């Protein structure tokens, strides 16, 4: 081999410098042929590889004689079109792939030895450059792939962030998923199809990118099981249609409109397939790659997370604004609606009314039939309530047995009253609960003022309270003075609590006598509140409130103990006598009651048969299992039980048989009838006879006149109580009375009462 001269070294150095700066192998090839032709002063230079010409110089564009150049690699001369016969030389640089540097020069002489060395050296430089460039290029490909991944990751993070922060609606998130899919894959169609909740066989495009409008319209609704999305939904997996038109599963419509390939991945909500995310291509030369699959599946996963999250948020929202038992809006939801309605009313001049509804004696039902029945009843009430309303009205449940209704666009108070009457009528119809017919009623308060929602609601609540205290099963309209009544009530309540703390209660007693002889056989304990400024307050003025606030429980316990202790003292001093103590329904509902009675008896030493517990009829009407059991346990202690104010409740007489009763106290109103021509004695007679036939002792209450006393004796009533014999009085007065009676003997009628309580009686 000839030693290269300075000339050829120079040429090679320039060639190397030029070729090695090429950024990719295409460019390197072009530079190489150009510099090689220049360095060798040749008309033609080419790189021939694998029977093709990769780069060449010396021919006009599009006129490269490929076949001649390929053949020239193994011939010393060649005939070039337009140039004539040329001398050629070729040097290989990548034998495995048959790559050659070919030089062709018009000259009579061949290439010098030095030139041949130069050509071989140039070929080697090209080979080396190609190899290093291929390393660089594969590195670049890798880097680009990782850049695409980073881009995908970036989009996914963006979407996740908007899901987590809930800054966008679910629709926006799904739009951004489809947009990301389109951007990342570059395919001409990207869309999300969701199963139609009303028609699970059908799925509809809810977000799309790159669709021609007519194509979108024709494929908007599709059957599940057909096409890429339909198949992905039906099979719950990613599916690829490489040759869309040739695939039996494809949608003929889409195939006809030029869809060439498609891929779909299922989208799930709370684990269940609800749709599919899809890419499709109308270009034959753009295949769907693994990288596209990765993007598609990652984005489908994101859409699933977004849908699941939205469903959970919806559920949480629903929970926050609905009553879970009745599915009605709850208090916060109602207040929102009310404020909104009030704001509209402000603008339009319309009126808004709020009805506040409370079921009468719901607690009794709940306590007696159990919570399951109570819940069923509340659901039934909610249904009836909703049934009474027009479309725009809003019913709500505030918890317990409290309901409210918002009436929008009412025309004055009369409208609201009409609705209230409809509701009251609905509540009076019997309820079928657990095979029983329950008769109920409700109390409704109405407020129509235009103020803050909270205030309107409070006013309606106050009016409802008035309906309750006015006798229940009615409605009442809010009046401003109800506020004062409320304030008074609150003051009274505070006062009463203080009274319990300071034990401001005293017990007075009213004798119970044998009507025929006037003999004192017992006494009823009647509580009074010894108020520091108001003096002696009668029970009617505070017992209802004490029952409502449960303060009756501690008050009743003290009365019971005081009465038992008093009875023991009188037993010791005056002989045989029974003590009657009133029990309120609230006390009877206390599981501790039996223990309280037991302790009062034990601590005082009163034999149980000397204690009578008086229970009002309404308590017995509850027909409630725990109360019934408690009464039996009280009976087992040995105490006697009396029905107080008999005849004033309107219940069945069933309980007279079912409960373990001993005494029936005829309400004063019937005793009053005895002296009254118009009313006559019929009712009193019926009651006395009823008591007799049930083998109960009968006590006539509120006897004020001797005719009443005589009348009762004539009816066969043995016992009585009333101002005619003695008013309730403090223990000393009664003690004196007892001594007097015993001293006088029991054979004569009593004098007019000497024991005066307070003038109000």
The residues binding Mg ion (CB under 5 A) are 582, 614, 644-645, 701
Residue 702 Cβ, how far from Mg ion at the closest point, in Å? 8
Are residues 356 and 401 in contact, defined by beta-carbon separation less than 8 angstroms?
A: no
Residue 530 Cβ, how far from ligand C2E at the closest point, in Å? 14
Applying the rule CB under 6 A, the residues between 542 and 571 that interact with ligand C2E are: 543, 552, 556, 559
Residue 524 Cβ, how far from ligand C2E at the closest point, in Å? 6
Applying the rule CB under 6 A, the residues between 727 and 756 that interact with ligand C2E are: 728
The site partner of 526 among ligand C2E, Mg ion, none (C-beta below 5 to 8 Å per kind) is ligand C2E
Q: Which is nearer to Mg ion, 417 or 701 (CB)?
A: 701
Q: Where are the beta strands (DSSP E) in 139-271?
A: 189-196, 199-209, 221-223, 239-241, 261-269
Q: Which is nearer to Mg ion, 72 or 719 (CB)?
A: 719
Strand pairing category for 505-514 and 402-410 = unpaired
Distance CA 111, CA 76 (A): 10
The site partner of 688 among ligand C2E, Mg ion, none (C-beta below 5 to 8 Å per kind) is none
The site partner of 255 among Mg ion, ligand C2E, none (C-beta below 5 to 8 Å per kind) is none
Applying the rule CB under 6 A, the residues between 458 and 517 that interact with ligand C2E are: 510
Q: Which is nearer to Mg ion, 463 or 579 (CB)?
A: 579
Question: How many residues in the shown chain lie near ligand C2E by CB under 6 A?
Answer: 25
Q: Which is nearer to ligand C2E, 617 or 623 (CB)?
A: 617
The site partner of 278 among ligand C2E, Mg ion, none (C-beta below 5 to 8 Å per kind) is none
Distance CA 617, CA 417 (A): 33
Distance CA 483, CA 613 (A): 38
The site partner of 543 among ligand C2E, Mg ion, none (C-beta below 5 to 8 Å per kind) is ligand C2E
User: Which range, of 329-337, 449-457, 538-546, 628-636, touches ligand C2E by CB under 6 A?
Assistant: 538-546
Q: Which is nearer to ligand C2E, 398 or 725 (CB)?
A: 725
Distance CA 315, CA 329 (A): 14
Backbone angles phi, psi at 213, to 5 degrees: -55, -40
The site partner of 309 among Mg ion, ligand C2E, none (C-beta below 5 to 8 Å per kind) is none
Residue 581 Cβ, how far from Mg ion at the closest point, in Å? 8
Write a three-state SS string for 632-661.
HHHHHHCCEEEEEEECCCCCCCHHHHHCCC
The residue assigned the tokens 């390197």 is 28
Count the alpha carbons within 13 Å of 737 in the hemisphere toward its beta carbon: 28
Are residues 148 and 291 in contact, defined by beta-carbon separation less than 8 angstroms?
A: yes
Residue 552 Cβ, how far from ligand C2E at the closest point, in Å? 6
Q: Which is nearer to ligand C2E, 375 or 704 (CB)?
A: 704
Residue 642 Cβ, how far from Mg ion at the closest point, in Å? 8
Q: Which is nearer to ligand C2E, 34 or 669 (CB)?
A: 669
Task: Output b/e per residue, 334-363; b: 16+ Cβ within 10 A.
Answer: bbebbeebbeebeeeeebbbbbbbbbbbbb
Task: Output b/e per residue, 125-154; b: 16+ Cβ within 10 A.
Answer: bbbebbeebeeeeeeeeeeeeeeeeeebee
> According to the binding rule CB under 6 A, does residue 582 interact with ligand C2E?
yes
Distance CA 463, CA 465 (A): 5
Q: Which of 31, 460, 482, 527 binds ligand C2E (CB under 6 A)?
A: 527
User: Which range, of 86-94, 491-499, 623-631, 696-704, touches ligand C2E by CB under 6 A?
Assistant: 696-704
Query: Interface mask (CB under 6 A) for ligand C2E, residues 624-663, using x and -?
Result: --------------------xx------------------
The site partner of 493 among ligand C2E, Mg ion, none (C-beta below 5 to 8 Å per kind) is none
270 contact partners, CB below 8 Å, separation of at least 6: 308, 311, 312
Q: Which is nearer to ligand C2E, 59 or 542 (CB)?
A: 542
Q: Where are the beta strands (DSSP E) in 538-658?
A: 578-583, 611-616, 640-646
Backbone angles phi, psi at 758, to 5 degrees: -115, 160
Q: 3-state DSSP call for residue 27? A: helix
User: Which range, of 35-43, 157-165, 700-708, 736-744, touches ligand C2E by CB under 6 A?
Assistant: 700-708
**In what order do the strands lie in the sheet containing 474-477?**
394-399, 402-410, 351-359, 442-447, 474-477
Residue 727 Cβ, how far from ligand C2E at the closest point, in Å? 7
The radius of gyration of the chain from alpha carbons, rounded to an integer in Å, stands at: 51
User: Which range, of 260-268, 273-281, 337-345, 582-590, touches ligand C2E by CB under 6 A?
Assistant: 582-590
User: Which range, of 167-175, 345-353, 482-490, 702-710, touches ligand C2E by CB under 6 A?
Assistant: 702-710
The site partner of 700 among ligand C2E, Mg ion, none (C-beta below 5 to 8 Å per kind) is none
Q: Which is nearer to Mg ion, 330 or 721 (CB)?
A: 721
Nearest to 381 by CA among 435, 443, 331: 443
**Residue 548 burial class via C-beta count within 10 angstroms: exposed 0-12, middle 13-18, buried 19 and up:** middle
Sign of CA dihedral 305, 306, 312, 316: positive
Residue 511 Cβ, how far from Mg ion at the closest point, in Å? 13
Residue 582 Cβ, how far from ligand C2E at the closest point, in Å? 4
Sign of CA dihedral 254, 258, 260, 263: negative
Are residues 590 and 532 in contact, defined by beta-carbon separation less than 8 angstroms?
A: no
Are residues 492 and 545 in contact, defined by beta-carbon separation less than 8 angstroms?
A: yes
Residue 704 Cβ, how far from ligand C2E at the closest point, in Å? 4
Here the tokens at position 155 are: 């989009």
> According to the binding rule CB under 6 A, does residue 722 interact with ligand C2E?
yes
Strand pairing category for 520-531 and 578-583 = parallel
DSSP state of 610: G
Residue 756 Cβ, how far from ligand C2E at the closest point, in Å? 12
Residue 310 Cβ, how far from ligand C2E at the closest point, in Å? 56
Q: What is the number of other CB atoms lying within 10 angstroms of the CB of residue 474?
A: 17
Q: Which of 60, 540, 575, 745 binds ligand C2E (CB under 6 A)?
A: 540
The site partner of 702 among ligand C2E, Mg ion, none (C-beta below 5 to 8 Å per kind) is ligand C2E
> According to the binding rule CB under 6 A, does residue 617 interact with ligand C2E?
no
Residue 349 Cβ, how far from ligand C2E at the closest point, in Å? 50
Residue 492 Cβ, how far from ligand C2E at the closest point, in Å? 16
Q: Which is nearer to Mg ion, 367 or 645 (CB)?
A: 645
User: Which range, of 70-78, 357-365, 383-391, 521-529, touches ligand C2E by CB under 6 A?
Assistant: 521-529
Residue 550 Cβ, how far from ligand C2E at the closest point, in Å? 12
Are residues 719 and 515 in contact, defined by beta-carbon separation less than 8 angstroms?
A: yes
Residue 693 Cβ, how far from ligand C2E at the closest point, in Å? 23
Backbone angles phi, psi at 412, to 5 degrees: 80, 180
Residue 749 Cβ, how far from ligand C2E at the closest point, in Å? 16
Applying the rule CB under 6 A, the residues between 351 and 390 that interact with ligand C2E are: none
Nearest to 383 by CA among 426, 348, 419: 426
> According to the binding rule CB under 6 A, does residue 704 interact with ligand C2E?
yes
Q: What is the number of other CB atoms lying within 10 angstroms of the CB of residue 550?
A: 13
User: Which range, of 341-349, 489-497, 532-540, 588-596, touches ligand C2E by CB under 6 A?
Assistant: 532-540
Where does this chain bind ligand C2E (CB under 6 A)?
510, 525-527, 538-540, 543, 552, 556, 559, 582-584, 614, 644-645, 701-704, 721-723, 728
């Amino acid at each position: 081999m000839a030693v290269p001269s300075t000339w050829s070294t120079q040429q090679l150095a320039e060639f190397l410098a030029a070729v090695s700066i090429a950024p990719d192998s295409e460019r390197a090839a072009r530079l190489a042929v150009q510099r090689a032709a220049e360095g060798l002063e040749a008309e033609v230079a080419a790189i021939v590889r694998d029977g093709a010409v990769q780069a060449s110089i010396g021919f006009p564009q599009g006129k490269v004689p490929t076949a001649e150049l390929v053949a020239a690699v193994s011939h010393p001369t060649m005939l070039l079109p337009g140039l004539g016969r040329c001398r050629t030389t070729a040097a290989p640089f990548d034998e495995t792939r048959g790559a050659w540097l070919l030089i062709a020069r018009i000259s009579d002489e061949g290439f010098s030895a030095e030139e041949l060395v130069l050509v071989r050296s140039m070929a080697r430089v090209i080979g080396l450059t190609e190899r290093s460039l291929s390393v660089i290029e594969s590195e670049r490909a890798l880097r680009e792939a990782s850049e695409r991944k980073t881009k995908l990751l970036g989009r996914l993070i963006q979407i996740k962030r908007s899901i987590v922060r809930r800054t966008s609606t679910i629709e926006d998130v799904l739009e951004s998923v489809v947009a990301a899919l389109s951007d990342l894959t570059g395919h001409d169609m990207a869309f999300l199809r969701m199963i139609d909740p009303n028609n699970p066989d059908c799925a509809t495009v809810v977000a799309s990118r790159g669709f021609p409008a007519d194509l979108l319209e024709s494929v908007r609704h599709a059957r599940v099981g057909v096409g890429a999305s339909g198949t992905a939904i039906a099979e719950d997996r990613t599916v690829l249609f490489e040759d869309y038109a040739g695939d039996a599963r494809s949608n003929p419509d889409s195939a006809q409109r030029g869809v060439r390939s498609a891929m779909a991945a299922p989208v799930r909500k709370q684990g269940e397939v609800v749709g599919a995310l899809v890419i499709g291509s109308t270009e034959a030369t753009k295949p769907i790659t693994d990288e596209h699959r990765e993007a598609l599946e990652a984005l489908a996963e994101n859409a699933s997370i977004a849908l699941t999250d939205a469903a959970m948020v919806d559920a949480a929202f629903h929970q926050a604004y609905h009553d879970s038992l009745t599915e009605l809006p709850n208090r916060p939801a109602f207040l929102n609606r009310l404020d909104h309605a009030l704001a509209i009313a402000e603008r339009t001049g319309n009126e808004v009314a709020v009805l506040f509804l409370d079921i009468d004696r719901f607690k009794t039902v709940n306590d007696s039939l159990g919570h399951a029945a109570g819940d069923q009843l509340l659901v039934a009430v909610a249904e009836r309530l909703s049934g009474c309303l027009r479309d725009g009205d809003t019913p709500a449940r505030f918890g317990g047995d409290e309901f409210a209704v918002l009436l929008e666009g009412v025309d004055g108070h009369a409208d609201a009253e009409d609705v209230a009457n409809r509701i009251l009528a609905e509540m009076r119809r019997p309820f079928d609960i657990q095979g029983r017919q329950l008769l109920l009623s409700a109390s409704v308060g109405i407020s129509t003022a235009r103020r803050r929602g909270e205030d309107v609601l409070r006013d309606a609540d106050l009016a409802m309270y008035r309906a309750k205290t006015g006798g229940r099963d009615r409605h009442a309209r809010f009046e401003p003075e109800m506020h004062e009544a409320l304030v008074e009530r609150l003051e009274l309540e505070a006062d009463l609590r203080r009274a319990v703390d300071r034990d401001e209660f005293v017990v007075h007693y009213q004798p119970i006598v044998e009507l025929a002889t006037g003999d004192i056989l017992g006494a009823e304990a009647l509580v009074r509140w010894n108020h520091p400024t108001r003096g002696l307050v009668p029970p009617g003025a505070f017992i209802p409130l004490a029952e409502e606030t449960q303060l009756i429980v501690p008050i009743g316990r003290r009365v019971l103990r005081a009465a038992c202790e008093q009875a023991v003292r009188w037993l010791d001093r005056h002989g045989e006598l029974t003590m009657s103590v009133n029990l309120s329904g609230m006390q009877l509902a206390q599981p501790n009651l039996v223990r309280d009675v037991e302790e009062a008896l034990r601590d005082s030493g009163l034999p149980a048969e000397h204690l009578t517990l008086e229970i009002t009829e309404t308590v017995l009407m509850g027909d409630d299992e725990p109360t019934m059991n408690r009464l039996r346990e009280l009976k087992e202690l040995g105490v006697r039980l009396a029905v107080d104010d008999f005849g004033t409740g309107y219940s069945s007489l069933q309980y007279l048989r079912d409960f373990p009763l001993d005494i029936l106290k005829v309400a004063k109103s019937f005793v009053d009838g005895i002296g009254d021509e118009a009313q006559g004695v019929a009712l009193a007679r019926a009651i006395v006879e009823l008591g007799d036939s049930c083998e109960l002792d009968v006590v006539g209450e509120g006897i004020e006149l001797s005719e009443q006393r005589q009348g009762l004796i004539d009816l066969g009533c043995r016992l009585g109580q009333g101002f005619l014999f003695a008013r309730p009085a403090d223990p000393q007065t009664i003690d004196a009375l007892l001594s007097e009676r015993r001293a006088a003997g029991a054979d004569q009628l009593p004098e007019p009462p000497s024991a005066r309580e307070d003038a109000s009686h």
